[in-house]
Structure 1
Amino acid sequence: MKKVKVGIVGLGRLGRQHAENLAFRIPNCELIAVCSIIEEEAKKAQEEWGVKYAYTNYEEMIKNEELDAVLIASPSGFHCEQIEKALEANLHVFSEKPLGLYLEEAVRVEEAVKKHENKVFMLGFMRRYDKSYAYAKKKVEKGAIGEPVLIRCYGLDPSEAIGGFMNFAKNNYSGGLFLDMAIHDLDLARWYLNSEAKQVWAIGGAYGYPEIGQLHDAETGAALVKFENGTMGVFVAGRNCSHGYHIETEIIGTEGTLRIGTVPERNMVTVFNETGAVKECSEGFLERFEQAYLSEVEEFINCIREERKPDVTVEDGVLSTALGYACKESFETGELVTVQSPHNVARSTT
């Protein structure tokens, strides 16, 4: 098969990383179009990387008949509409998480994906493609810790990223702590425990940054989840981690425990100085999951070329959104929330 010709929308931090991977690091594909509402951003990418087309209008880009696929790395609130439009334009679609900020739109996208079964759709739950997380999944499946009974996840962003988040959130692009940040951990829990969520109780607050509370969001939050098979999940998400980017997962089983990222170290180097023995931390998600971001999009391209579907499905996006939305509802109301079938919720609002 010829090279897969891809266009990308969104050239922020993650979008730019995806674009560079498509342009230079992923075999059998060609980045031929970039799109950003910031014209200078699109033109700069076009000139630096030798991209054939640059757009400021997404609808114009997906009309380009040379395109085979589109990668959506725009703010979360645009994902659903852009996915639907790309499918209608007969394009394969890779979309960053979350699938949607509202259950009704996520279910609508699921229906659109099923309508276009001849197209590859993939959602960016990149941690499934991280070597450590993938290895842990194999160990769980082989019974290395017996039957999993509890998963504990920490997802903490560095304090220095607060400013960038505030600009993002003020435009109503975030969806809140649980849909924006914890969604990765919620997906991992479903993956490792092999079950869907039943009930959730979530709490949180804006402790160091009251301005986040003014956005009706939490700076640091926690959720306790009961799954349908009786297993448990404890999730902590925060935007104010002074020591850096801290992603940690623990799976407790009947015969043992697995931990991933217990020390959020940057590499194998230890610095000995006046402060002691120091293991430096990753500065952010792009550094920690550099390999995973590359591997997931490489899988997307391979799926198109080999005419097969990826393991991460649109249903994973819908069900993770349902759980994230339940966490958001519990945080906002202070009540224990029963996680409803997203399809029932969608029907009740139409």
Structure 2
Amino acid sequence: MKKVKVGIVGLGRLGKQHAENLAFRIPHCELTAVCSVIEDEVKEVQERWNIPYTYTTYEDMLQNKELNAIFIASPSGFHCKQIQQALAAGFHVFSEKPLGLYLEEAVEVQEAVEAHSDKVFMLGFMRRYDKSYMAAKEKIDRGDIGKPIFIRCYGLDPAVKMDSFLKFAGSNYSGGLFLDMAIHDLDLARWYLGTEGKEVWAIGGGYERKEFDELKDAETGAAMVRFENNASGVFLAGRNCAHGYHIETEIIGTKGSIRIGTVPERNQIVLFNENGAIQECVDGFLERFEQAYRSEAEEFINCILEGRKPAVTVRDGVESTRLAYSCKESFEKGELIQNRTNSLTV
């Protein structure tokens, strides 16, 4: 079977993990080109992994006719433009979330994807490819908990990364707490409940670090959402979790409930000593979702080879962005917001 030749843009923490997966762990895939505006990142990857082509300008990489696909792991503010450029240049495209920081540009990307229907487009909502979250979806669809009517999501990043979070929040590329972090949970809610958000109320602030208030972002924020089918959800996102990286989801139905990740355990070890029973927790998203990142990249490559489209669509990106943006607007205005499901043609 032939190999899909991929070029990746963005070699930050997540981008480098994606690049390593593409280079060494994804069958029928060849990491052929890497791109970063930081020249040292490009040199390091080329020397360590012997990558044939390296670039510091994205547009230059798009001129490489050996490539079949582009993998976008750049900062969020670049996603929309880079997706449209790659599609126009004739490539299949994988993009990390979010689809965009503004609803209008996300809709423009949807139009571009639909105009290039012969190309595979996939968005990086990796939790849909995590084995636990996939198993929960199967149980919900099978009716094991009856009709799902409520979802509760915690997305908490480790407190030890607070300084780097502040730098990112001030970069104008994060989009804020709800677009950067809670969007994963909002996408899961749409997936599990099978409906779109209708009304949003979001609150939050800077509690440990007041710099977040100055940036008009939230260190910790919460949103309550009423969905179109009258199901509801509560979403907590924060950047100050003392015990590590904590991702937890609960779906309550009319006949039962499912919980995922109640204890963010690193392994099956429990240490018993004078301090009690101690379990180590994962320290970041790369560790917790290592398998999911591999699985989503493998699905992208398989879709290209098999001539099919992934289950995660560009519309998922638009509607999750729409809902996250409504949360952001509610937080900033301190008002109940009607999610603008039909305000733009999609």
What range is the shorter-chain TM-score in? over 0.9
2:51 matches 1:40: no
Following superposition of structure 1 onto structure 2, how do residues 158-177 of structure 1 map, counting pairs within 5 Å?
158-177=158-177
Q: TM-score, normalised by structure 1?
A: 0.97
Name the SS of the counterpart of 1:237 in structure 2.
Answer: strand
Name the SS of the counterpart of 2:331 in structure 1.
Answer: helix
AA aligned to 2:211 is E
Q: Distance in 1 between matches of 2:37 and 2:345?
A: 31
Q: TM-score, normalised by structure 2?
A: 0.99
Q: CA RMSD in A?
A: 1.0
Paired residues of 1:95 and 1:122 also in contact (CA < 8 A) = yes
2:130 matches 1:106: no
2:201 is aligned to 201
2:243 is aligned to 243
1:322 is aligned to 322
1:137 is aligned to 137
Cα deviations by residue, 1:47-68 (Å, 9 ceiling, x for unpaired): 1011001110000001100010
2:277 is aligned to 277
AA aligned to 1:26 is I
1:94 is aligned to 94
Paired residues of 2:35 and 2:54 also in contact (CA < 8 A) = yes
2:69 is aligned to 69
2:190 matches 1:190: yes
Q: Distance in 2 between matches of 1:191 and 1:320?
A: 10
2:263 matches 1:263: yes
1:233 is aligned to 233
Q: CA deviation at 1:173?
A: 1.1
Q: Distance in 1 between matches of 2:164 and 2:210?
A: 16
Paired residues of 2:182 and 2:237 also in contact (CA < 8 A) = yes
Paired residues of 1:97 and 1:124 also in contact (CA < 8 A) = yes
Name the SS of the counterpart of 2:252 in structure 1.
Answer: strand
Q: CA deviation at 1:277?
A: 1.2
AA aligned to 2:339 is V
Cα deviations by residue, 1:2-56 (Å, 9 ceiling, x for unpaired): 2000000000110000000000000001001000100010111011011001110
2:9 matches 1:9: yes
Name the SS of the counterpart of 1:204 in structure 2.
Answer: strand
AA aligned to 1:326 is S
Paired residues of 2:169 and 2:217 also in contact (CA < 8 A) = no
- Between stretches 161-170 and 105-114, larger displacement belongs to 161-170
Q: Distance in 2 between matches of 1:33 and 1:272?
A: 49
1:213 is aligned to 213
Q: Distance in 2 between matches of 1:313 and 1:346?
A: 16
Q: Distance in 2 between matches of 1:114 and 1:237?
A: 32
Q: Distance in 2 between matches of 1:148 and 1:341?
A: 21
Cα deviations by residue, 1:242-278 (Å, 9 ceiling, x for unpaired): 0000000000010111000011111101122332210
Q: CA deviation at 1:341?
A: 2.4
Q: Distance in 2 between matches of 1:59 and 1:210?
A: 39
Moved over 6 A (4+): none
Paired residues of 1:103 and 1:346 also in contact (CA < 8 A) = no
Q: CA deviation at 1:346?
A: 6.9
Paired residues of 1:104 and 1:346 also in contact (CA < 8 A) = no
Paired residues of 2:205 and 2:217 also in contact (CA < 8 A) = yes
Cα deviations by residue, 1:114-166 (Å, 9 ceiling, x for unpaired): 00000000000000000000000000011111110100000000001112212
AA aligned to 1:111 is E
Q: Distance in 2 between matches of 1:148 and 1:123?
A: 25
Name the SS of the counterpart of 2:42 in structure 1.
Answer: helix
Q: Distance in 2 between matches of 1:169 and 1:288?
A: 22
2:59 matches 1:59: yes
Q: Distance in 2 between matches of 1:178 and 1:304?
A: 31
AA aligned to 1:145 is I
Paired residues of 2:150 and 2:231 also in contact (CA < 8 A) = yes
Paired residues of 1:35 and 1:54 also in contact (CA < 8 A) = yes
Paired residues of 2:198 and 2:341 also in contact (CA < 8 A) = no
Provide the aligned length of Structure 1 versus Structure 2: 346
Paired residues of 1:198 and 1:226 also in contact (CA < 8 A) = yes
Q: Distance in 1 between matches of 2:345 and 2:100?
A: 13
Paired residues of 1:179 and 1:324 also in contact (CA < 8 A) = yes
**Identity value in percent:** 70
Paired residues of 2:195 and 2:229 also in contact (CA < 8 A) = yes
